[in-house]
Chain A
Amino acid sequence: MADHWIGRFTAMASPCEVLVETSSHKEAAALLELISSEAWRIEEKFSRYLKGNIVHQINTANGAAIEVDEESARLLDYAAVCYELSDGAFDVTSGILRRVWKFDGSDRLPDPASVAQLLPRIGWNKVVWNKPRITLQPDMELDLGGLGKEYAVDAAATLLEGATQASFVVNFGGDLFVSSLRANGEPWRIGLDDPLHTGENAVGQLQIERGGVATSGDARRFLLHDGKRYGHILNPLTGWPVEGAPRSIMVVAETCVEAGMFATMAMLRGPEAEAFLDGEEVKYWCER
């Protein structure tokens, strides 16, 4: 008799899975349905690629104020707090830099002038956010990609906690949440990708009782030019990749969102990443 079920689906361009400690296929199927719906709902609502959703409305408002719903307001409040706490390094208006940076493993760096041209169009301090209304300058854009996956993990976990008392793991492409020890008192064993390769062989195992795990790293998205490696975490103030950042950081925290934010903030501090996380007394693993 199975002691746990694994449900898999694809969302946010990542392989997603949920592991639930139940022997009931019926319950596992219902829970998979529950969280895949939630993952797709969040993806559709906040994706910058879909027309008509709230992000698209905000980005095409052309200077007009857009009234957002309660969930979007919470994300924007969070983005605002993280902008403050990171001294401007975490900025949800920096997404337009992707127009000139293509991290395809090649050696093609963008032309510095085209990067500099984008800088005036970046800056959360230029956004007028008076809940529930947000106003962007006509040439600015919001990109919630830095929060979306971790938020979806925690939202899915919240739903599962309300729907079952079984122990579970929600894992959206490496950003995950573990609810509790398994019924036998043992922790779930999560296989970890080797951050330096493509992740085919799990080289380590993570055992946590309860919490969120998020990874920030350049394993798959980078540029290599003149022997120098450019990671995909961009500094919104310069428009260029953060210098001296670790290759990858994995953080464990109470929730996936919190873990992801610590990982991102650490990366943005480049050489100071480990010192920052040590100072905050956060559990992490770092590769340089």
Chain B
Amino acid sequence: MKLRLLLLCAAACLVVGCAVQSVQPWQRDLLSEEKMQLVPDPVQGFLDEHIYFSKEASSGGQGVGGGGCGCN
């Protein structure tokens, strides 16, 4: 458990601490594409999350809430 939290903190620091390059505002055209969203297709994400929530014992990770169902 402690090792996990340590890894998490290290990952978060790594992420926040170092932008590998300084990104100027006019360089954001690629980043602003809808397909570059971390959930590129919310419909697929929602349907898959529902499937895996029903078939596996783990859930969540990328958001909060989401309704319950009598399938797990």
Does A pair with B? yes
Does A192 sit within 8 A of B, measured CB to CB?
Answer: no
Query: Residues of A contacting B28 with CB < 8 Å?
Result: 162-163
**Chain B nearest CB: distance from A141 CB in Å?**
30
Does A38 sit within 8 A of B, measured CB to CB?
Answer: yes
Query: Residues of A contacting B29 with CB < 8 Å?
Result: 162
Does B65 sit within 8 A of A, measured CB to CB?
Answer: no
**Chain A nearest CB: distance from B61 CB in Å?**
28
**Chain B facing A: main interface SS:** loop
**Chain A nearest CB: distance from B50 CB in Å?**
33
Assembled-state Cα–Cα distance A214/B25 (Å): 26
Residues 3-30 of B at the A interface (beta carbon under 8 Å): 24-26, 28-29
**Chain B nearest CB: distance from A18 CB in Å?**
13
Query: Residues of B within 8 Å of A, CB-based: how many?
Result: 6
Assembled-state Cα–Cα distance A132/B67 (Å): 50
Query: Residues of A contacting B62 with CB < 8 Å?
Result: none
**Chain B nearest CB: distance from A156 CB in Å?**
10
Query: Residues of B contacting A160 with CB < 8 Å?
Result: 25
Query: Residues of A contacting B25 with CB < 8 Å?
Result: 34, 159-160, 162-164
Give A41's nearest chain B residue, CB to CB.
Answer: B26
Assembled-state Cα–Cα distance A160/B29 (Å): 12
Does B72 sit within 8 A of A, measured CB to CB?
Answer: no
Give A31's nearest chain B residue, CB to CB.
Answer: B25
Chain B proximity mask over A148-164: 1 for CB below 8 Å, otherwise 0: 00000000000110111
Give B29's nearest chain A residue, CB to CB.
Answer: A162
Assembled-state Cα–Cα distance A252/B29 (Å): 26
Assembled-state Cα–Cα distance A162/B32 (Å): 8
Query: Residues of B contacting A34 with CB < 8 Å?
Result: 24-26
Assembled-state Cα–Cα distance A1/B22 (Å): 30
Assembled-state Cα–Cα distance A160/B24 (Å): 11
**Chain B nearest CB: distance from A275 CB in Å?**
39
Q: Which residues of B contact A (CB under 8 A)?
A: 24-26, 28-29, 32
Q: Which residues of A contact B (CB under 8 A)?
A: 34, 38, 159-160, 162-164
Smallest CB-CB A-B distances: 4 pairs:
A163-B25, A162-B28, A162-B25, A159-B26
| Contacts beyond the supplied A34-B24, A163-B25: 14 A-B pairs with Cβ under 8 Å | A34-B25, A34-B26, A38-B26, A159-B25, A159-B26, A160-B25, A162-B25, A162-B26, A162-B28, A162-B29, A162-B32, A163-B26, A163-B28, A164-B25
